[in-house]
């Protein structure tokens, strides 16, 4: 998955656009889990601590992040 940046004007415009609510009822749990897995992999490849769905071109309110707990990083997903 390509991660959008503000250095590209088209991507910057998309990143600054208000995202839509994520409707869980429209997707199968398997599809949601697969999306989160792909987001986590992209985040880790970029050596990041968090990734929002709009950073990979999806207009939905969803993000994943790493959280440090007791000197260890724990991957946690948050949905909005």
In this structure, is residue 1 part of a structural domain?
no
- For 59, residues 6+ apart whose C-beta sits below 8 A from its C-beta are 14, 17, 19, 20, 53
Work out the average pLDDT over 12-28: 92
* Tokens matching residue 48: 């990041």
Domain of residue 30: give its range. Answer: 22-79
pTM of the model: 0.76
In this structure, is residue 73 part of a structural domain?
yes
Q: Listing from the earlier edge strand, what are the strands of the sheet with 50-52? A: 50-52, 62-69, 72-79
Alpha-helical runs (H) found in the chain: 9-15, 29-45
In this structure, is residue 7 part of a structural domain?
no
The 10s digit of each residue's pLDDT in 43-78 is 888 888 889 999 999 999 998 887 766 666 665 655
The number of folded domains in the chain is 1
């Amino acid at each position: 998955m390509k991660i959008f940046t503000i250095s590209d004007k088209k991507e910057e415009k998309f990143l600054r656009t208000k995202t839509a609510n994520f409707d869980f009822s429209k997707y199968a749990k398997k599809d949601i889990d697969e999306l989160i897995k792909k987001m986590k992999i992209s985040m880790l490849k970029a050596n990041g601590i968090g990734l929002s769905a709009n950073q990979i071109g999806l207009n939905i309110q969803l993000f994943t992040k790493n959280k440090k707990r007791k000197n260890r990083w724990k991957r946690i997903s948050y949905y909005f």
